[in-house]
Structure 1
């Protein structure tokens, strides 16, 4: 990463206790890191240094609203192992207008922007109305078709409608990933039938709400599976030590891979290599990223 100076590396020793200074057995790609979040403002170089020490070699910075997408793009231009997405999350769908569409189109033309999104449907909270969500999502499906970029998708409690909309557009799209998939088996198979990819986070290790995933996560084909932290959110609940402030960060991605390998009954290193190969191909990083 771009800043691995002694100061950054010594800071990297700080918030993670020894038990959480993990190193993946093979290079990893974190496909969903919210590094523009305010909690990273004061120590981002150290966060990136810790990620590198953990063998997290590439990070896709999520852009989920106009300002966040601009900042994600700017970050990716300053750090050689960062790339960005650009989209409007369903929570912000009511803000969608022609000016916003133009700004997203401009961002999608930037070489470090590798996906359209985070976009999709969230009928769990409905911070924007379902009608506004569908309007903004359809517009971003059109942008993905126009640009040829893959989609970075959010779906919560909206699987049926998401599948209906994606079915109408699938022949015009390149690739798509359901980031942080938390749904049921039938929804999973609906996405797989559409040749979509599946992103997995620390949700899998949450005994309160992620246990159902353990029953069928092994059924996701290796070439369709990718890993992510969604940091600073979704800190795994079963970490072997506590973190002051409970901020999730990319350096903990190896723990998610370990948990995923456990529930899939796979070798951890083999899974790490497979998810990295899939992410590199999906986001078209092969020419600039060497695991």
Structure 2
């Protein structure tokens, strides 16, 4: 693994005011083989550019030749989603703010002259950030502009209502301690807090699961093994495949939700290696379609 030579903070003029991003560039002499715009997780209301799921992921990928632009999107107000009866907090930024900011950051990075050709930029995120990245890929498709080379999602929440878990996953969820579980009512509270409402219909850009996914870029999804959100990642992959999208799904054995926030674990190391391999592997047909 190489070194990261440049880590720089910038503030963009985003669609909703100042938008901080952090750019990670490979060391001198390391070929810049790909670019990635990345969004951290945190239930839409937590997280920052310093958390491992943002900083460690970006540094690890940059050491392998990937220029990473990590997005400090605006957060929804804090809510105890494990207490669904709690009133929604005031303030914060609700949908579509973060979704539009991640979309904007992709367009900026693609044209920013960071040493990676515009056709080699991918879009990705973890958990809630995976939701934002998937939604942004829909926005970019519908806008008719150049699509990302690929989409990379780590344990994403793609659906407002979690799809039903199969017996194998249900048994693992039942064994989770309460602090690691995400029961349906908690996910509904989290989603409603992000949207600012709980009524339907939901914009396809807010929760892309179950929407028209035709024409999206090749997608790589890694899920956590012992994780209620795994049902969403698996269902989203099935929906992508049914829509004719090339998709790769990996269940990271022995891991829990958010395992990229635990860089000292074997599961996190395996996942970051898988993501790096996906981003740096040549896919000529994909790049031609992105032009």
TM range (shorter): 0.3 to 0.5
TM-score normalised by length of structure 2: 0.39
Structure with greater proportional helix content: 1
Greater relative CO (CA pairs within 8 A, separation 6+)? 1
Structure with greater proportional strand content: 2
